[in-house]
């Protein structure tokens, strides 16, 4: 059974940091990229970042570049999203997804999805 389980969300003040985790199981992790996506109330889902498990190549949306960093621990089949300098506009449900893609954050290209974790940034 494929599982993607996010954790690490919560409430943080603007300027603060959070680290999200995405634990993956049930598929050939090294063959996939893991992407992070977010969706705020009333807004469309937005791609945030992705990382290729095979070579560690990353890609970021312009809105988070320089503030967010994604990394992969292949021994644990876990991807992390370190979020620094958080802004109220970063408030959303963050979900991770797995897909056989490379350096793309197009949600339609991803096969497997987690349930999401809430991130709330107060001003």
Residue 38 — pLDDT band, cuts 50, 70, 90? very high
Question: What is the C-alpha to C-alpha distance for residues 111 and 102, in angstroms, rounded to an integer?
Answer: 13
What does the pLDDT read at residue 87?
A: 98
Helix, strand, or coil (residue 10): strand
| Average of per-residue pLDDT across 89-93 | 98
Are 97 and 22 a contacting pair, CB within 8 Å? no
Question: What is the C-alpha to C-alpha distance for residues 88 and 8, in angstroms, rounded to an integer?
Answer: 17
Question: What is the C-alpha to C-alpha distance for residues 86 and 63, in angstroms, rounded to an integer?
Answer: 11
């Amino acid at each position: 059974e494929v599982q993607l389980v996010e954790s690490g969300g919560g409430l943080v003040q603007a300027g603060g940091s959070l680290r999200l985790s995405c634990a993956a199981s049930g598929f050939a992790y090294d063959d996939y990229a893991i992407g992070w996506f977010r969706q705020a109330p009333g807004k469309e889902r937005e791609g945030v970042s992705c990382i290729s498990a095979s070579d560690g190549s990353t890609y970021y949306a312009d809105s988070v570049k320089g503030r967010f960093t994604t990394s992969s621990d292949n021994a644990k089949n876990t991807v992390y999203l370190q979020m620094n300098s958080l802004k109220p506009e970063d408030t959303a449900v963050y979900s991770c997804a797995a897909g056989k893609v490379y350096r793309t954050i197009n949600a339609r290209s991803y096969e497997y999805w987690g349930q999401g974790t809430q991130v709330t940034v107060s001003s």
